[in-house]
Structure formats: C-alpha cells, structure tokens
Amino acid sequence: MNKVFKKIAISVISLGIVLFTVAGCSDDIILEPLDSIVGSYEGHFYLTDLTQGGAADTLISIDILWDFRELTYQLDDTTQTICTPKGDYVLSGDQIKLDENFDGNSGGVCNPSLNPLGDFSIRRPADSLILTQSTPSNFYEIRLKRK
C-alpha cells in the first residue's frame, strides 16, 4: 500500500509540474523594440594602433558629428582626417554593423581607410552611444552624446 501511495504522489506531483509549466508559457509575450538611436550626436573618435609590441599608440583623437537616421548614418569630421562617410547600419542587441556606401573622399586630404566600418559593440548609457571595435591592428572607440 505504501508503494502505491508513493507512485500516486509522484505521478500527481509530476503532472502538477507539467501543467504549471505549460500554463506558465505564454504565446502573447511581446518583446519591446530596441531603443532607437535615430538622432544627431556629437562626440569623439579615437583610433589606437595596437601593433606597437604591446604599447598602444593613439593615432587619431578628433571631435566628430554623427547623424543616425532610420537605417542610415552620416559621419562628419570637420578636420577631414577620416572623411565624411555615409552608409547603412543594422542594430542588433549590443552590436551595430556599419556598411559604408560613400567613403566621403572627394579628392580631399582625408584617409577613407580610417573610416569606421564593420561590426562594432554598442553601449547606450542614458543619451549617449559608445561604439567599440577591436581588430588585430587597431582599436576604434567612438563616444557620442545626443545633441
């Protein structure tokens, strides 16, 4: 009799767990969209050379303006160090991918090979954006604050 009671108790508890789990799962879970980064920003662009045998050397440290529209961006560097690239971006969680469709080089003195391009990590504290990218030779850091 004791064995039968244990089997019944275990069956009832197992059934309860299964029913509780199924009832707790909901098909109407709505995920909020990612916060929009659309807007105008001003900030600073840093490019650090990592090939100096362990000693990082900052190659570029300039003020920039950056406009994000719905799925496009434009960067403005008035010093013409990194040109004024335009392109598309894709935001996915804590990553942003920058695809350039115009490098901003119009025969000036800028260097389009220094333009930020590719996959970046993105953090969004308050009204700011911090983009970082590490390659074998360089570390990009872009700190922006909404205007």
Q: Where are the domains of the chain?
A: 39-146
- How deeply is 69 buried, as exposed, middle or buried, from its count of CB atoms within 10 A (0-12, 13-18, 19+)? middle
In this prediction, residues 20-47 reach a mean pLDDT of 71
pLDDT in the model for residue 45: 93
Residue 33 reports pLDDT greater than 60: no
Tell me how far apart the alpha carbons of residues 81 and 106 are, in angstroms, rounded to a whole number. 13
CA 87 to chain centre: 16
State mean pLDDT over 40-66: 85
pLDDT tens digits, 87-104: 999 999 999 999 999 887
107 or 101: which leads in pLDDT: 101
Q: Report the percentage of the chain scoring pLDDT > 90.
A: 44
Q: Which CATH class is domain 39-146?
A: mainly beta
> Mean of the pLDDT values across residues 33-46?
86
Asked if pLDDT for residue 32 goes beyond 50, the answer is: no
What's this model's pTM, rounded to 2 decimal places? 0.71
Under DSSP, the state recorded for 26 is -
Count of beta carbons in the 10 Å neighbourhood of residue 133: 18
* pLDDT for the residue 27: 55
Mean pLDDT (whole number) for 58-82: 89
Looking at residue 78, its pLDDT comes to 75
